Chain A
Amino acid sequence: GAVVSQHPSWVICKSGTSVKIECRSLDFQATTMFWYRQFPKQSLMLMATSNEGSKATYEQGVEKDKFLINHASLTLSTLTVTSAHPEDSSFYICSARGPGGFTDTQYFGPGTRLTVL
């Protein structure tokens, strides 16, 4: 199957700093990329959907200015957690999908564990 990388795999930062997480599709063109957050013992919560070259669509309750998403190319999307606070500590995971829409498989990255002190 296709490979999606995510970097870093874990990060610890101080409160008030910003953290950037990269998601790359290594062997296919990702028309659409998704960012999810997982709270302990809960499922994947969709944060936003981004299509290459256009603004991300955020889910209700997700702060656009807090979680900046950029999908500048067909192989790279970034999530920047701005002015991070301890409540932003979580597991963030991205996925990428080709141009086939809903019937295309989403390929997931390995996730990033963010801890804000």
Chain B
Amino acid sequence: NAGVTQTPKFRVLKTGQSMTLLCAQDMNHEYMYWYRQDPGMGLRLIHYSVGEGTTAKGEVPDGYNVSRLKKQNFLLGLESAAPSQTSVYFCASSYSDRGTTEQFFGPGTRLTVL
């Protein structure tokens, strides 16, 4: 099993450009999440999904959109990148059972917006 994979690993964008980050999991997890991690700020939730075709906003959703067309994939889009979106982005997934569920993380995407 590959677990949680993220594409790409690194990306440099210019202000105003758009891009899509792809997250894929092969564990048949219901829940998927997108976080950003910034120095001194910890991990902050951007958007999450509790199942195929559903998405919800997290703590810092502005400037991002997401889609969950297939259960195994969760896409994060930046329509018009801004320097404030320079960060490391992590995807995670988990089962839906709250008590026993464990989160599994991808390796991250390092994004720089110039």
- The answer to whether A and B interact is no
